[in-house]
A = this chain, B = another copy of it.
């Protein structure tokens, strides 16, 4: 059987992660990377794969089985999603939670005409965490959901730090509070405030001569981002930032704490967690598994916009159903 020909639209951290993930999946191959940058401004790690200006993507409709959109949710995907859905099966990681229903509709409209299969909002949250929330809520209808994020880098909060006067550079880690996680794990079904769930830890490189006490106060009092949290601020050098904080770790926990039995008397705890050295690489690996599913669903004429809730798990695997039953059931 011929390999699944994958296109990558956008060659940032996630796009490079997808390229690496394709090498781990022998039934897939990278056909081309589509980018706004000049084709000769960078090189791929995949011999034979093309770099193509993204405006020429339509010429590749017959050469790509599925396009993985690796652009950002703020400005890239709202345009690219519907546009590429009119030409390709697509998978993306659109993650602006509040706008997902609207985005789904737009992609679905385009895919209905093109008869393509487009799985949106794939990754780990939205993505795997959503799947676990849905699955565990269906199993334990009487119960509570808890999600904790971290320890990991929040891009939005890091950007907020860097906008503070006197800050040259900085990074923010979201950290789940052990005591809160433990109280959920033990089935005590706590009501947790924002402050009780997560800490925020900031590493800041100040400009020369800047007022550090002022910077620290400005960060800690910033509404929405920090004022509702226990926040710590550490001042470090630019070298330390580069040396100790250039990875992109992340992760988190999803819990369903439910009750069963005639008098709802028995506690049942479902826990799912991720501990990721590299957030973009892990997201990329999830995207490639769902790209396989998109192609298979399209071959079965199961078209339109889809989410992680619509995909039978076996479609994510290159292994035959009989082997899955024998080895993993």
A interface vs B, CB < 8 Å?
Answer: 16-17, 19-21, 23-25, 45, 97, 100-101, 104, 121, 126, 128, 130-135, 137-142, 185, 187, 251, 258, 260-262, 264, 266-278, 281-282, 284-286, 289, 292, 307-314, 316-318, 321-322, 324-326, 328-329
Contacts and interface: CB of A to CB of B under 8 A. Distances in A.
Q: How many copies does the complex hold?
A: 2
Contacts of A317: 134, 137-138
22 contacts: A24-B142, A100-B325, A100-B329, A121-B329, A126-B329, A128-B139, A131-B313, A138-B289, A139-B316, A258-B285, A260-B277, A260-B285, A266-B276, A268-B274, A268-B276, A268-B277, A271-B271, A272-B272, A308-B329, A309-B321, A310-B312, A310-B321
B101 A325 contact: yes
Given A130-B329, A313-B135, A314-B310, A141 B25 contact: yes
Given A20-B262, A260-B20, A275 B269 contact: yes
Contacts of A275: 185, 187, 267-269, 271
Nearest to A284: B260
A329 B307 contact: yes
A298 to B, nearest CB: 15
A325 B307 contact: yes
Given A140-B285, A269-B275, 17 more contacts: A23-B262, A45-B262, A100-B325, A133-B328, A134-B316, A135-B313, A139-B285, A185-B275, A266-B276, A270-B273, A271-B273, A271-B275, A272-B272, A307-B324, A309-B312, A309-B328, A311-B313
Contact of A308 (B269, B271, B313, B318): B313
Contacts of A23: 262
Contacts of A266: 276-278, 281
Contact of A269 (B25, B274, B311): B274
Contact of A312 (B137, B142, B264, B311): B311
Contacts of A328: 130, 133-134, 137, 309
Nearest to A263: B20
A260 B273 contact: no
Contact of A322 (B19, B101, B273, B274): B101
A261 B20 contact: yes
A105 B21 CA distance: 35
B314 A134 contact: yes
Given A187-B275, A281-B261, A322-B101, A138 B316 contact: yes
A313 B133 CA distance: 11
